[in-house]
Amino acid sequence: MLNPRHLRSCFALTAAVAAWLGAAPASAFDLDLRLGAKGIFSLANISDADGPPSPQAPWANGRIGAGGGGGLYGELHVSKLVGIEADLLFESNRLFFRGAQNMVRFDQRASFEQLRVPLLAKLFAHLSDDVELSAALGPQFILGLGAHPETTLTSNGTTLSQQNLQRAFEYFYQAEAGGSVALAGELGVSFYTQRFQIPIALRFAYNILGKTAYADRVKQDPMLRTATFSALETYQFGIVVGFGFLVPPRQPRPEPDQPQRRADDPFSPF
């Protein structure tokens, strides 16, 4: 269930910026747009608030996961200092776990796909006409598109390859896609030409509605003996790189006036 209090806190910054934009006079705006594509490489992990019920429990002892993806972005500058950004990113991620039962070690992987839609309020600082620093904060909506488990079994240092045993583990230990809302922050730098933008940023997201207790993350059916993991990370840290077009393009810089030699004085340097 989504907690309305969490949602209100997540929307507060975006709503405040929208209210400021609505109240500001039109003369205060200097609108221009950037449209393009971004790619992301990320590391992720989950929070274990209480730990698993036993060392042999599935989907426990989580390790850092990794993923990547990309998509489209739009960035609207309403002045030289303030703007907003919206992304539409498709990501494919993995989380890793390790467990053991009856002298058999099993390494589990939850592979899952997500659609992420961050809505960020941004502040800018300009080092020069071609270099721009930015800081951003806002909500990020996460929609799970699919998930599936993978298991590697090892006994006495030897990987077990029996297909029936492998399928049995993946039947009992399943994974399902999950959705949520995260709070996202970003520090970045953009490089400009007359027509193009190249943004590079470090982005962090904390899943404010995420399940941190083992009993909430893993649904167990005692009759079927299945354990289904809700494939959703708690933390994500990523590097984002993009390429975009300026709408409209920047005006070319005027060339400085060259001093002219006076025709009536052949000895004058001007």
Provide the residue-wise pLDDT of the chain in tens; the chain has 270 residues: 445 555 555 555 555 544 554 454 444 457 889 999 999 999 998 877 666 766 667 787 777 899 999 999 999 999 989 999 999 999 999 988 877 766 777 788 889 999 999 999 999 999 998 999 999 999 999 999 999 888 777 766 666 565 666 666 677 888 888 889 999 999 999 999 999 999 999 999 999 887 777 878 888 888 878 888 888 888 999 999 999 999 988 877 776 666 665 556 555 555
Identify the bridge partners of residue 32 per DSSP, sorted by sequence position.
77
Query: Measured on CA atoms in the order 156, 157, 162, 167, is the torsion positive or negative?
Result: positive
Model pTM score: 0.77
Separation of alpha carbons 260 and 270, rounded Å: 5
Q: Find the helix or strand (DSSP H, E) in which 260 lies.
A: none
Q: Is the domain defined by 30-247 classed in CATH 2.40.30.10?
A: no
Exposure string (b/e) for 244-256, b if CB count within 10 Å is 16 or more? bebeeeeeeeeee
What pLDDT, on the 0 to 100 scale, is given for residue 21?
Answer: 46
Residue 67: partners with Cβ closer than 8 Å, 6 or more residues away:
41, 42, 44, 91, 92, 93, 94
Query: Distances from the Cα of 8 to the Cαs of 2, 138, 181, in angstroms?
Result: 11, 12, 11
Name residue 257's amino acid.
Answer: D
Residue whose entry in the numeric block shows the structure tokens 């470090």 = 202
